[in-house]
Chains A and B, each alone.
Chain A
């Protein structure tokens, strides 16, 4: 009896290790490349949900006041402290630098301009990120991993409306307020150092400041602060709201929130400046 002919369908060909590794690598590379777009998409989705639910009743005024108190009142000390030293160090550097050209009288004007347009909104937003943004992510993340957000859903309460909307509105309102505070305290710190340590005439400092800095400069900073306020709270809420993996996962989410917020502030700073000044972006 002749031997049975071997059949092709006996065992499917196993993919080689090299091919498997190449496929895994390409999948990983694709994921890494796509992750920023996925993240931005998720942020816009959450923003859209927040806008959708934000205009619908019920309106929870108490939660909004609590969020504004947490972001705004709670950040006054850290904002004032950092503003004082930022203003002081700007005075030290600029008065000293300008003195070489005999232009130290312009120090007050340049410090005021820098604070109003750039330093104030950027530093205020960074401080809010480090203090309030990280706390928001941790709080929402803890609520997520202990099923408190699921509990809200089961009680027919929309968690985006209850948790995200008040924080977002509070960020939008309070970061500009904190920016103004930063500007005022920053100018005060610069004034003290420039006048008492560097021997600049107080009248000249204030006169030049009023001469160069006008409402347009301040409003440019406030527009940036509004954008930063929304971005920072949105990132913090997004990371906390979708945290997973227990306490370690909440820690990772908080870390991501702080890093992403800091990057977003600096990138948005460039974009908003380009748009506000009308000079284009590239």
Chain B
């Protein structure tokens, strides 16, 4: 029982040193490498993710964006390098420490990854039921509060399959935010969506950042989203960060691959 209680405490206790909260760099990725067989996908990625900002990582298909995302949330372990989250090396954690640290992150998958056998309400309530001992009423209030804030309270009893792509994204964001995670990672959030829904999802990312003060990391190749929402932008090319800076800086970069990518997407700051 004591072990159980101790484990539970470790899962519910915030694992982060409080002094790091003043550091503008929320996540520091340092020299991360990842290889699959003979394929060296990430070749020493180093990157700063800024606290309370919308940080976009862009790059062409096959550049390693999704692989980087999977290391960042520790769905996979990097071969080498550091993932410093509030100063703690996330890449070195194991077991319950890793589980506790994972609660710092919320993840919105490309296809939303909602549990299709559960209603919207149950999907959003899932992390709360798993990680807190709130009463049924408290869970309901918390979930409905979050659903209302994102404008989907009316869909609470629907199944994910009954929702549009945009609404599914909202539910995924609500689920990712319900434990008040500090960092939200969005993997290609606008891929496959129509322009209106794309704009809606972009607004949602900014809203989530403004309403809850969270740090957003958006993995994308949608340059229109870059112009709309990015505070900080990094260009991943062939497994390396080729350029990084504000959108203005990157739109005027002289780095050939980045410039070519931006030119091909026909995006200017005015647009």
Is A147 an interface residue when CB atoms closer than 8 A count as contact?
Answer: yes
Interface check B267, CB cutoff 8 A: no
Which residues from A are CB-within-8-Å of B115? 143, 148, 151
> Do the beta carbons of A154 and B131 come within 8 Å of each other?
no
CA distance A136 to B126 in the complex (A): 21
Encode contact with B along A81-118: 1 for CB under 8 Å, 0 otherwise: 00000000000000000000000000000000000000
List B residues 67-118 near A (Cβ within 8 Å): 73, 75, 99-100, 102-103, 105-107, 109-111, 113-116
Q: Report the stretch among B3-11, B226-234, B249-257 that lies at the interface.
A: B3-11
0/1 string, B116-156, CB within 8 A of A gives 1: 10000000001100110000000000000000000000000
**B75–A146 touching, CB < 8 Å:** no
Q: Please, which residues of chain B bring their CB within 8 A of the CB of A147?
A: 109-111, 113
- Find chain B residues with CB under 8 A from A57 CB: 4, 7-8
Bound state CA distance, A157 and B105, in angstroms?
A: 13
Alpha-carbon distance between A142 and B100 when the two chains are bound, in angstroms: 27
Q: Are A154 and B130 in contact (CB under 8 A)?
A: no
A33 contacts the other chain (Cβ, under 8 Å)? no
A147 to B116 CA separation, bound complex (whole angstroms): 11
B107 CB → nearest A CB, Å:
4
Q: For residue A154, which residues in chain B have a CB less than 8 angstroms away from its CB?
A: 73, 75, 102, 105-107
Contact size class for A?
A: 10 to 19
Contact: B102 with A148, CB < 8 Å? no
Name A150's closest neighbour in chain B (CB-CB): B75
Closest to B73 in A: A154
A39 to B102, CA, bound (A): 31
Task: State in angstroms the CA–CA spacing of A282 and B111 once bound together.
Answer: 53
Q: Give the chain A neighbours of B73 by CB distance below 8 A.
A: 153-154
Are A148 and B131 closer than 8 Å at their CB atoms?
Answer: no
Chain A residues near B7 (CB, 8 Å)? 56-57
Q: Tell me which residues across on chain A come within 8 A of B109, comparing CB atoms.
A: 147, 150-151
Residues of A within 8 A of B110 (CB): 147
Residue of A nearest to B11 (CB): A156
Task: Give Cα A158 to B11, complex, Å.
Answer: 13
A148 to B8, Cβ gap below 8 A? Answer: no
A143 → B minimal CB distance (Å): 8
Which of B11, B109, B113, B115: most chain A Cβ within 10 A? B113
Interface residues of A in 149-178 (CB under 8 A from B): 150-151, 153-158
Asked whether, in the complex, the Cβ of B103 is within 8 Å of the Cβ of A156, the reply is: yes
B 8-65 contacts with A by CB, 8 A: 8, 11
List of A residues within 8 angstroms of B105 by Cβ: 154
In the docked arrangement, what's the CA distance between A56 and B8, Å?
A: 11
The chain A residue sitting closest to B4, CB to CB, is A57
Contact B113 A155 (CB under 8 A): no
Cβ contacts A to B, 26 pairs, < 8 Å = A57-B4, A57-B8, A142-B116, A146-B111, A146-B116, A147-B109, A147-B113, A150-B107, A150-B109, A151-B113, A151-B114, A151-B115, A153-B73, A153-B75, A154-B75, A154-B106, A155-B127, A155-B130, A155-B131, A156-B11, A156-B99, A156-B100, A156-B103, A157-B127, A157-B130, A158-B99
The 10 closest A-B pairs by CB, nearest first: A147-B113, A154-B107, A151-B113, A156-B99, A156-B102, A147-B109, A57-B4, A155-B127, A148-B113, A154-B73
12 other A-B residue contacts (CB within 8 Å) besides A148-B113, A151-B115: A57-B8, A58-B130, A147-B109, A147-B111, A150-B107, A151-B107, A151-B109, A151-B114, A153-B73, A154-B105, A155-B130, A156-B131
Measured CB to CB, the residues of A under 8 A from B are 56-58, 142-143, 146-148, 150-151, 153-158
